[in-house]
Structure 1
């Protein structure tokens, strides 16, 4: 089995030491990686909010991919050969936790509101909905994060979400 890491810094800049992840229905995933690199001083600001891909390759099974953006990156140690780093990888959807706003939506469905918000953040959606959803006369977002607002709308309609991965990214 081979595990490779790709970042905006390129392929094979990091060697993976550990990989731990949690995934839940209707919640953002979180992957924590500990890595080493011969690059002794990496500026974390160049990696925050950038794409990060982990490839798990095996001769016996199809390749697995884990993709997200870097939400946290820090150096956790150093020796003569390597610097050691820790990164947290989250879906692009996590960015919605960083903003709160006020908005009024009139005569649109919850699904249309959610789709509009997600697309404005560059989130790739794979819509598998089979039902139809009623038009809401009036919907208000008031000083809540876009993440909380989207979650509230989806929950009120009984809609759940999850993330899928491929070598090109992740979809919600």
Structure 2
């Protein structure tokens, strides 16, 4: 897609542990687009709350979503890839309101696989204990939402290749 006249702004979404931070940069590289880590947009209070094992509420997420939306808006016509859990339809609607052309790459997977990956990662503020709240909050992409769902089984390279192929097919 790097050669298309209107590169996409892709929001890599999914519950914690699906590999947004791993797959996002691989997709961005394959599409020759810049990548932004969604966790970097969180206010310090959000990071502290999650580090303490407390799930964020919608009020906590609002400034974070607005910051990601502003980044996506600024990338309109240029393209880019950014990660954001974007678990609820209302969150995705908020991102689309800021950047109407965004498309979503929903990383999906079996809870057991995701929990195993979360348990193995080091130095991340999101504890495995919050995975249940993530799955309870998740509202998968609906038919009227621009995006694709990609399973996270396999290697990061395999997942990214499936994601790029699905995004290219979506772009037509």
Q: What TM-score, normalized to structure 1? A: 0.24
**Bigger Cα Rg:** 1
Q: Which has the higher helix share?
A: 2
Larger RCO: Structure 1 or Structure 2 (Cα < 8 Å, ≥ 6 residues apart)? 2
Q: What TM-score, normalized to structure 2? A: 0.24
Q: Which has the higher strand share?
A: 1
